[in-house]
Structure 1
Amino acid sequence: MDNQRNLILAIALSFLLLLGWTSAMDYFYPQPEQALVEDRADTPTEQASQAATQHSRTGGLVDPAMRAQEVADVKTALASPDRVRIDAPRVAGSVNLRGGVVDDIVLKEYDETTQKDSEPVRIFSPSGTPAQQFAQFGWVGSNLKVPGPQTLWEADGDVLSADTPLTLTHENGEGLTFSIRYTIDDQYMITAAQTVANTAGNDVVVQPFGLVNRTSRTASEDLWIAHSGPIGVFGDSADYDIDYDDLDEDQRVSPEGRTSWVGFTDIYWLAALVPQDDSAPETTFRAMGDETYRADMIYEATTLPAGNALTVTSRLYAGAKESAVLDSYEDAGIQKFGLAIDWGWFRWFEKPMLWLLRTIYDAVGNFGIAIIGLTFIVRGLMFPIAQRGFASMAEMKAIQPKMKALQEKYKDDKPKQQQEIMALYKSEKVNPVAGCLPMLLQIPVFFALYKVLYLAIEMRHRDFLWIGDLSAPDPANLANALAYVGIDVPQFLMIIFGLGVLAVLLGFTMWLTFRLNPSQMDPMQQKIFDIMPWILMFVMAPFAAGLLLYWVTSNVLTLAQQKYLYSKHPQLRASIEEEKARKAAEAAKAGS
């Protein structure tokens, strides 16, 4: 009777756990790229205010009305004749001659969605548009007429490309000539050489600056696993601790330490300023109001004598957070630029795993197959450890009678009992924890792959069978099926209706592994243990499909591995089955 009551209690607690998981689903579950705003207000201003608080996993505007407004506003802004085209190998866009601003950048090789007619990802939009993000280079001066946001610069060409630099020039009418020479490489880095020439009759004091301005309306979700917001390397470490809420509260944050680079990040995109080598500009993050923010990089004031010129060279990274590309810039001298991706503590393990995945992908041409291949490699490398674990379990079973004898002999002297048991382990050359080692080693592998699939842009929009994006949850679920016929499932029911095919396979294969490897628990504990795979099935459903693909494949290989190892250690299987039968008989006897 007690066992039955405990089982009912365990099932009830498990049900409560599933219901409580709804909040975690909101935390982990990627929102649709065009999620609707519930309880929408009547006015466009109120609609915009409500939509601004919503964020998708990958970033971008969420509210459909605001997305439409962005398209219209960008089209109007880019129709201006005061623009010079950007046409580089991996980016396109334009430089606004009004202010000399880089405010129009799209990424040629990345689409916004998985649809065939999708537009390329836009990461820079002109000031005043709903998704504004731009970079500007200029000067601050005391009692000087310096170029401003409305200054119309003169250009020496009609395109900025990897082979063709672009120089903007402006004379202030007071003996100062300002120029910005833009160059762009074959990746995502723009170099801005700011020069001011003093032809006046007196010395002047100038301060070059660079800034990145953006709105948080397009920010990706800021989660424990993926930082979104202000970012940079200051001193010797990367700073992931500042978010947009911090700036709203403090209005201004100045990180300590020399700035190696600074900017704003989303899960997949980065806009960052890199100061001139051997310089120490003052860096500040600011809240500008109306959900806009700015990262400033201001160089020291310099006295420029008459007849002299001053040049300061900064760089602007505006592009995708590709690990190999970021690391190449780090190798070229930008300190810890690879940490623009928040790999965390396990980056020493995650980056090689990403490299291995890319290598397998280059060989097979599909990331889903690459994940399966990676699973085979991981399980293969761990097989000797698993084999040793099974052997250790068999050895432990063989010495069970001796252990019971010692426990009975020294039942009133626990220290002596433990001492004798340890001596028994040593004499029989048995390691009691060897059987746990394979499971312990799986933990960093599993977590590292989770981070790789979630953070690495290489996984974005990679398909496999019915899965359109391995970095997102399995789309083959009842909620999506109902959405096709116009039925929206409430969020609190997503714990059930969001259950995908891979999650079901995960629960089933895990249940099979537990059944094939009977534990020595009492019947009550065994019953609780039996429902654990099904609980994990619901818990893991919102995670990346690629992660579930790895786990399902790993479970299948575990089943094959267990079959093989039990064939090599039949005495272990027989002993466990005998113990299980004995426990069941004792429970039946107690129940009667």
Structure 2
Amino acid sequence: MENNRNMILAIVLSALVLFGWSFLSERFFPTANPPATQIVDGKQVPVPSAAGSPVSNTPAALRDRALVLGETPRVKIDTPALSGSINLKGARIDDLTLTRYRETIKKDSPPIRLLSPAGSKESYLAGFGWTGQGLAAPTADTIWTASAPALTPATPVTLSWDNGQGQRFDINLAVDKDYMFTVKQTVTNTGTGAVAAQPFGFVSRHGVFKDPDSWTIHIGPMGVFNGSANYDINFEDVDEAGNAGVQNSSKGGWLGFTDKYWLTALVPDQGTSMNGTFRVGSDKAYQADFTTEAQIVQPGKALSTTSRFFAGAKEVGVLDAYEDDLGIKQFDRGIDWGWFYWFEKPIFYLLDWLFRVFGNFGVAIIGLTLIIRLLMFPIAQKQFKSMAGMRAVQPKMKALQERHKDDKPRLQQEMLKLYQQEKINPLAGCLPILLQIPIFYALYKVLLLTIEMRHQPFALWIKDLSAPDPLTPVNLFGLLNFTPPSMIALGVLPILLGISMWLQFKLNPAPADPVQQQVFGIMPWVFMFIMAPFAAGLQLYWLTNNILSIAQQKWLYSRHPALSQAEAK
């Protein structure tokens, strides 16, 4: 009767862990990127792109993008990382693709499109201008004149317009080899009276991002104000703010919209004060904009302000370089590293270095696991020795349990006395587990957030280590024509992980409590289901770690035969 009750309790606890984690992970911990491949008729093929754009879910296009691009005069953008054009109507940067990245892992997959013009599907654009009382400033319908037909890293372009009332407006655009535009706005007053001019910049998009904003990954409006990154603003907050918008005043800083891998950011002069606002218009048109202080431009004088616009991939090294070289405060926080920022970035840099050494990201993860195991070897040795000591005193513990089975307080006293006599600590095995938690979480964030890990293959059927293992026996490895839900889609890696965890538990001393014994007996198979939706890279890390733990335990028993003899006794 007692054993049946314990078994039922163990099953209930395991079910709570399994289903409770599924609920929490969907709400707070996105487990992996969408699958990069799928099994069709027993063959592994790339997953096609659903929308042709990574940035938003918006209503159907009013007009085809190609038609919209052909309606206005344009200046070509051509850099090693970017391709697109600038709209001379309104001086808008509204056509941009990222040539280094593809929508899927297919070789002929189109490049990632980041910006699209107004009037087309998923419009997303940026612009710069002026406002001021009594100033005939350029508008969205102004047609600008360009100094050159193409903007490249070697050839800046100046857009010019004269209002016919004594003021000329110039926007000098330069771009580097990565993703940063430098924008110099100049107002020249050739009139007879002074004018007040207030520069501004904006980035506007229709709809929200298709990737959900979660507790661990912020997606949506964000910025750095007064030296602090603000991840607390989301699209719902902007909706609720109405016409006033969500405003932040700051000296320096920046603001924009962040996706999981892509970022648009307006960067005013870091030495000036600015007012940054997130606002929403009709049809879910969201905008981030900044204004600096209005200044008087006397006759015969000119006013120039310089700002920057980032539009591209959140490559860690590139963001770090902009922060260091351009003095953009906390620009690396465009990636939501979270609480373990100080730990996650070293993990990333080590993993990225190993990847460059081996040329394979899966091998890099295995190498990272080996390095971590070597660093933790002394602690793990103490853990295993303590666990082996627990095995050695199992007969004495069972004798005490039998002797004092009706006196629980006395049993606890005798057990503590036994631990002291044998110089063992039953909690010593917890330390390596506690140390593994920040490492595992850091690797989880690195795999989930950093674009350097996106679509990185390992070997055989693992084409994307940032996505779940696609090969599952649940549908006979794709021979059956259905895709099982993620919760039961057990890939090969999570199955091997469960088996390795079971083998590891078999080498550990059995807990004295029967309920704990049954829980530990079920736990490997529960974790097998929990880990199934996670990134294959995390599964590979944990599997490698378990294999090394088993090898280390075997080595310990080979060096201390008495421990294995005590176990047999």
TM-score category by the smaller chain? 0.7 to 0.9
Question: Aligned ranges for residues 330-345 of structure 1 at < 5 Å?
Answer: 330-332=323-325, 333-345=327-339
Q: Deviations over 1:326-353 (max 9, x none)?
A: 0111112111111111111212211111
Question: Aligned ranges for residues 126-145 of structure 1 at < 5 Å?
Answer: 126-145=117-136
In structure 1, the residue matched to 2:445 is 451
In structure 2, the residue matched to 1:5 is 5
Name stretches of at least 5 consecutive residues in structure 1 with no aligned partner: 35-54, 579-592
Q: CA 1:126/1:306 → structure 2, altered by over 3 Å: closer, same or farther?
A: same
Instruction: Give the Å deviation of 1:16.
Output: 5.7
- Are the equivalent residues in 2 in contact too, given 1:131–1:218 (CA < 8 A)? no
Alignment match of 1:173 (pick from 145, 164, 167): 164
In the alignment, structure 1 residue 85 sits paired with structure 2 residue 79: no
SS at match of 2:538: helix
1:455 partner amino acid: L
2:467 partner amino acid: A
In structure 1, the residue matched to 2:371 is 377
Q: CA 1:445/1:256 → structure 2, altered by over 3 Å: closer, same or farther?
A: same
2:443 partner amino acid: L
In structure 2, the residue matched to 1:436 is 430
In structure 2, the residue matched to 1:243 is 234
1:235 partner amino acid: N
Question: Aligned ranges for residues 20-99 of structure 1 at < 5 Å?
Answer: 23-24=23-24, 26-27=26-27, 28=30, 59-61=54-56, 66=60, 69=61, 73-99=64-90
| In 1: Cα distance, 2:296 partner to 2:192 partner | 14
Alignment match of 1:223 (pick from 214, 219, 225): 214
Q: CA 1:524/1:432 → structure 2, altered by over 3 Å: closer, same or farther?
A: closer
Structure having greater relative contact order (Cα 8 Å, sep ≥ 6): 2
| In 2: Cα distance, 1:559 partner to 1:542 partner | 25
| In 1: Cα distance, 2:408 partner to 2:351 partner | 56
In structure 2, the residue matched to 1:313 is 306
SS at match of 2:487: helix
Instruction: Give the Å deviation of 1:223.
Output: 1.5
Aligned residues: 544
| In 2: Cα distance, 1:257 partner to 1:217 partner | 25
2:312 partner amino acid: G
Instruction: Give the Å deviation of 1:413.
Output: 10
Alignment match of 1:495 (pick from 475, 482, 487): 487
- Are the equivalent residues in 1 in contact too, given 2:390–2:424 (CA < 8 A)? yes
- Are the equivalent residues in 1 in contact too, given 2:68–2:119 (CA < 8 A)? no
In structure 2, the residue matched to 1:283 is 276
Instruction: Give the Å deviation of 1:10.
Output: 2.9
- Are the equivalent residues in 2 in contact too, given 1:211–1:296 (CA < 8 A)? yes
2:263 partner amino acid: L
| Stretch moving more, 462-471 or 480-489 | 480-489
Q: CA 1:21/1:378 → structure 2, altered by over 3 Å: closer, same or farther?
A: closer
2:237 partner amino acid: D
Instruction: Give the Å deviation of 1:20.
Output: 5.2
- Are the equivalent residues in 2 in contact too, given 1:203–1:304 (CA < 8 A)? yes
| In 2: Cα distance, 1:455 partner to 1:479 partner | 29
Question: Aligned ranges for residues 254-293 of structure 1 at < 5 Å?
Answer: 254-293=247-286
| In 2: Cα distance, 1:217 partner to 1:192 partner | 27
Q: Deviations over 1:455-487 (max 9, x none)?
A: 111100101121221111111136787988754
In structure 1, the residue matched to 2:463 is 468
Q: CA 1:62/1:486 → structure 2, altered by over 3 Å: closer, same or farther?
A: farther
Instruction: Give the Å deviation of 1:227.
Output: 0.7
- Are the equivalent residues in 2 in contact too, given 1:90–1:108 (CA < 8 A)? yes
1:286 partner amino acid: R
In structure 2, the residue matched to 1:100 is 91
Q: CA 1:194/1:110 → structure 2, altered by over 3 Å: closer, same or farther?
A: same
| Stretch moving more, 565-574 or 286-295 | 565-574
In structure 2, the residue matched to 1:553 is 544
Instruction: Give the Å deviation of 1:396.
Output: 6.6
| In 2: Cα distance, 1:381 partner to 1:160 partner | 50
Question: Aligned ranges for residues 151-230 of structure 1 at < 5 Å?
Answer: 151-230=142-221
Q: CA 1:76/1:412 → structure 2, altered by over 3 Å: closer, same or farther?
A: closer
| Stretch moving more, 431-440 or 202-211 | 431-440
Question: Aligned ranges for residues 553-592 of structure 1 at < 5 Å?
Answer: 553-578=544-569
Instruction: Give the Å deviation of 1:395.
Output: 5.8
SS at match of 1:254: strand
Instruction: Give the Å deviation of 1:112.
Output: 0.9
- Are the equivalent residues in 2 in contact too, given 1:474–1:501 (CA < 8 A)? yes
In the alignment, structure 1 residue 329 sits paired with structure 2 residue 322: yes
Q: Deviations over 1:36-68 (max 9, x none)?
A: xxxxxxxxxxxxxxxxxxx99x943469x94xx
| Stretch moving more, 89-98 or 76-85 | 76-85
- When normalised by structure 1's length, the TM-score is 0.84
| In 2: Cα distance, 1:118 partner to 1:335 partner | 35
SS at match of 2:75: strand
Instruction: Give the Å deviation of 1:567.
Output: 1.7
Name stretches of at least 5 consecutive residues in structure 2 with no aligned partner: 37-49
SS at match of 2:130: strand
In the alignment, structure 1 residue 348 sits paired with structure 2 residue 339: no
Instruction: Give the Å deviation of 1:105.
Output: 1.0
| In 1: Cα distance, 2:171 partner to 2:256 partner | 20
1:7 partner amino acid: M
SS at match of 2:300: coil
Alignment match of 1:386 (pick from 380, 385, 390): 380
| In 1: Cα distance, 2:491 partner to 2:111 partner | 29
Question: Aligned ranges for residues 116-127 of structure 1 at < 5 Å?
Answer: 116-127=107-118
SS at match of 1:505: helix
In the alignment, structure 1 residue 531 sits paired with structure 2 residue 522: yes
2:199 partner amino acid: P
| In 1: Cα distance, 2:385 partner to 2:296 partner | 77
In structure 2, the residue matched to 1:516 is 507
2:486 partner amino acid: M
Instruction: Give the Å deviation of 1:380.
Output: 1.7
Q: CA 1:443/1:15 → structure 2, altered by over 3 Å: closer, same or farther?
A: closer
Instruction: Give the Å deviation of 1:278.
Output: 1.1
Q: CA 1:307/1:485 → structure 2, altered by over 3 Å: closer, same or farther?
A: farther
| In 2: Cα distance, 1:167 partner to 1:185 partner | 16
